[in-house]
Amino acid sequence: MYDTFQVDRLIDMWLTEDIGYCDLTAQLMIEADETAFFQMNARESIVVAGVDVAARVFRRYDADVQVKTLVRDGQVVDKGTRLLEVSGSARSLLTAERTSLNIIQRMSGIATETARYVEVIKGTTARLIDTRKTTPGLRMLEKHAVTCGGGLNHRLGLDNGVMVKDNHIAVCGGIAKAVERARRQLPVLTKLEIECDRLEQVEEALAAQVDVIMLDNMSVADMAQAVKIVNGRIKLEASGGIRLDTIRPIAETGVDYISTSKTHQSAPAVDIGLDAA
């Protein structure tokens, strides 16, 4: 889920950064009237994300370029799968090539990594969600990539929900006082989540009737106890140091959500290439 107007603004910045004054190689070596046809291929098994953005890069640079997407975001494809075809001015295709590849490799890397986490917690009631620890300027697209991999989005930004963390609680003088302050002008459709790192805080948050309780860096045993305390009355989110090798026991405690930044921060770019047909 992303806005194409915003994507076009990003593409303009990406192309400006990469091109500079001009693509010197293409201008010197390729005649203005020469045309080319290329195919974008997956060089490993991946979950696709950003194929339409990659296509949009070519069209943004040269509106006369013809691009045909052959897969859709969220699709699992094998090595060798053709993702898109592009034809038109050879200069334009060669100039926009790297920018187009960079974004689809990054987004598909996040989607593929997310799918790995989702697979590990399959069969539990827990859902994987992301965080705000995204690459500056790319949050909209990186969060879209998470959904392509089967995850859910947490807050899109600071204006998207109220998250009461330990420092907010410290300033306000306790959970009850912090929640009271937050509710004074809380928009009616906005959720209120509170961070707890001890079971006694879970009791306080439950009494304050918040919408979501984050279990921050708790042991698996304490998370299981928190699930018993809450007993389905409030949604529970597990967070803090979640990794692929630790997520399954956490999911089995019965929490509703598990948030991790690893799907953004640790996802390697996948191998995708643009090849002459």
H or E element, residue 242: none
Check 9, 122, 165, 243 and give the catalytic one.
165
- CB under 8 Å to 53, separation ≥6 — which residues? 2, 7, 11, 103, 104, 107, 141
Distant-in-sequence, close-in-space partners of 159: CB < 8 Å, separation ≥ 6: none
165 is catalytic: yes
Angle at 202 between CA 198 and CA 205, to 5 degrees: 135
Tokens 């459709």 belong to residue: 189
216 is catalytic: yes
Exposed/middle/buried for residue 132 (C-beta within 10 Å: 0-12, 13-18, 19+): middle
Query: Of the residues 97, 113, 142, 216, which is catalytic?
Result: 216
Catalytic residue among 82, 133, 155, 191: 133
- Given 18, 44, 85, 98, the catalytic residue: 98
Which residue in the list 195, 204, 237, 256 is annotated as catalytic?
Answer: 195
Q: Is 195 a catalytic residue?
A: yes
**Burial label, 263 (beta-carbon count in 10 A; 0-12, 13-18, 19+):** buried
Active-site residue set:
98, 133, 165, 195, 216
